[in-house]
Structure 1
Amino acid sequence: MPRVITLGEIMLRLAPQGYNRFVQATSLEATYGGAEANVAVSLANYGIASSFITKLPKHQIGDAALNELRRYGVDVQHIVRGGDRLGIYYLEKGASQRPSLVIYDRAGSSMQKAEVEDFDWAQIFQDADWFHFTGISPALGDNVAAICMEACREAKKRGITVSCDLNYRKKLWTKEKAARVMGELAQYVDICIANEEDANDIFGISSEHSDVVGGQLNYKAYQKVAAQLSEQCGFKKVAITLRSSISASDNKWAALLYTGQQSYFSKEYKIHIVDRVGGGDSFSAGLIFGELMDYAPQQTIEFAVAASCLKHSIEGDLNHVSADEVRKLMDGDGSGRVSR
């Protein structure tokens, strides 16, 4: 069985019930999530051996986050314990023309204050086939960027495939710093994953005749974006999700996979959103799964997009679907009819 390692921060998510605004809330629902943890859970659901690497405080809230991973079969044996707090993010889900809102409270978290010496990558990477991280982790601080660099170097030394979701977050760092740090990490990355804005925000590579805010994307132009990313950074493959936002409640969802020789576009889904947080992470997990299963490029991108399409129908960060359910949607059964 292939083994995948993901590195990042799992956080406590606090959100009003339903589509209430913060000002309306008399209680907040507590769940857990974080980009790389979300990927690890999805892969575990698909039957892949996945290990999540992070640093958690050694108290009951840290235990709760650890147990959340355990319940889905994610390997947690290499998680480091220490520090004082678990990062928190507050989510107000948008609806119709009102966008979602995320407020971070993660400064001083155990992972944000982690050091290179906390992690023994030679031991962590034993028998590993794949390493995945996102641009969120190095954005937490120079120390976490150094941890990512150490992990990438060790993975590359061992011949492990490295994937990275660029995942630019303007609330965590500037475009200038993101370009410098991610440019250094990119030399170790085999497969780059991005959304319709990441390449422009980090590397200044934009799609012609696209209006992301207005929900108008020139799909064909993103082939050039993928090719430029590949040429500039040396990526073997580039995957780009293509979200056309009609409103906070309704989107069109597709993606492309660029292999250096050819671009493969998925079918486009019209989705009515229950919860979009984790949508990109479910795409990353689907893409990794397809690659590990030696799917053909078209089948890989179709699986990744179908997996992410289903995630938009599920509350919380995590994608609670099986590989069979994803394949069923891939095969055209998207009616939503009751299964009896």
Structure 2
Amino acid sequence: MLRLNPVGYYRFVQASQFESSYAGGEANVAVSLANYGMSAAFVTKVPEHEIGQCAVNAMRQYGVDTTYMYRGGSRLGVYYAEKGASQRPSKVIYDRAGSSITTAKPEEFQWDEIFRDADWFHFTGITPALGGDLPKICLDACKAAKKRGLTVSCDLNYRKKLWSREDAGRVMAELMPYVDVCISNEEDAKDVFNIEAANNNVEGGNLNRQGYISVAQQLQARFGTKMVAITLRESLSANDNNWGAMLYCDGQAYFSPTYRIHIVDRVGGGDSFGAGLIYGVLEEKAPQDAINFATAASCLKHTIEHDVNLVTVEEVNALVAGNSTGRVQR
């Protein structure tokens, strides 16, 4: 979709011009994986006109395969992003009704062809939240992926401005049995499935990390997922967060280091984490190494304007190794 944001820290009502870029949950993941040297394709539907072509070009410039960016419909979804500062939170306004992807039909996606040479399928909870036939399209994709032996990952990504908790819980419960790797943040499991970490205060920025082991165990028990990854954000202000994550698999929890981050742009932080985890698993990293890589990758994303994570494997590995001073590289 198209992102429009005021320059710098201007509020919407102050803005006389907007910066434009192209992004989306699954698109952001594809860009990260392509940056890491992996073959990544993005499946969607965009308009046939020039704005749709801009979206295709945006993916192509990062090396993402756009073969399955189908064309049709009359508009590209838009979202407006206002960056917060200090105690003023960031704000997002969606304008996605009637976009090309929301008018897509199940028969437009030939999943056996799309998945012919694939190893992994990733989707987010944002896609079925857009309504229309998208819950069925996602279900068809999950069934086809499992039939062909792909690993399936899902970022729950609950967005209250797109659908209700009740609708999210009903639709996602039908999709989750096909998911091998579930990705969540500190609130998603509660919002979608009413699974909550005990003794937690998300709004106050105080997270009971051990409580998330129980969250992961409950998700596994209910849906049979092999891995559960949960990002742990402690919001000190709109600009400063503590950032870490947990990976639960094979009956054991692995916690990453916690980074104190000063945020340039936090949108896409979860997507960069998901991409880092996918990369780590595909590279057959040990669980601790995989969660360390994913968390470091997402830490670096918070320093980059707009949604996509433009870092290399070498930069992530340097942070994992402890090079966190931010000194000039000459």
Q: Tell me, what secondary structure is at the counterpart of 1:52?
A: coil
Q: Which letter does structure 1 place at the counterpart of 2:310?
A: H
**Moved beyond 6 Å, runs of 4+:** none
Contact persistence 1:32–1:68 (CA under 8 A): yes
Q: Which residue of 2 aligns with 1:82?
A: 72
Residue in structure 1 matching 2:253, options 234, 252, 263: 263
Say whether residues 1:274 and 2:260 are aligned partners. no
Q: Which residue of 1 aligns with 2:146?
A: 156
| TM-score (normalised: structure 2) | 0.99
Q: Which residue of 2 aligns with 1:5?
A: none
Distance 2:69 2:191 in 1: 31
Q: CA deviation at 1:142?
A: 4.0
Residue in structure 1 matching 2:61, options 71, 82, 102: 71
Q: CA deviation at 1:168?
A: 0.3
Residue in structure 1 matching 2:163, options 156, 173, 176: 173
Map 1:1-340 → 2, pairs under 5 A: 11-340=1-330
Distance 1:235 1:287 in 2: 15
Q: Tell me, what secondary structure is at the counterpart of 1:289?
A: helix
Query: For each residue in 1:25-74, what CA deviation from the matched residue of structure 2 results, as whole angstroms up to 9, or x when unmatched?
Result: 01000111100000000000000100000001000000011000000000
Distance 1:188 1:229 in 2: 13
Query: For each residue in 1:127-175, what CA deviation from the matched residue of structure 2 results, as whole angstroms up to 9, or x when unmatched?
Result: 1000000000000114011110000000000110000000000011110
Structure 2 residue runs without a partner (length 5+): none
Distance 2:59 2:157 in 1: 22
The alignment yields a C-alpha RMSD, in angstroms, of 0.5
Distance 2:19 2:139 in 1: 35
Distance 2:222 2:238 in 1: 33
Distance 1:323 1:106 in 2: 34
Structure 1 residue runs without a partner (length 5+): 1-10
Q: Tell me, what secondary structure is at the counterpart of 1:83?
A: coil
Contact persistence 2:197–2:215 (CA under 8 A): yes
Distance 2:107 2:36 in 1: 32
Q: Which letter does structure 1 place at the counterpart of 2:37?
A: G
Query: For each residue in 1:91-115, what CA deviation from the matched residue of structure 2 results, as whole angstroms up to 9, or x when unmatched?
Result: 0000000000000001000001111
Distance 2:110 2:85 in 1: 44
Determine what percentage of the aligned residue pairs are the same residue.
62
Contact persistence 1:14–1:31 (CA under 8 A): yes
Q: Tell me, what secondary structure is at the counterpart of 2:170?
A: helix
Q: Tell me, what secondary structure is at the counterpart of 1:192?
A: strand
Distance 1:58 1:252 in 2: 42
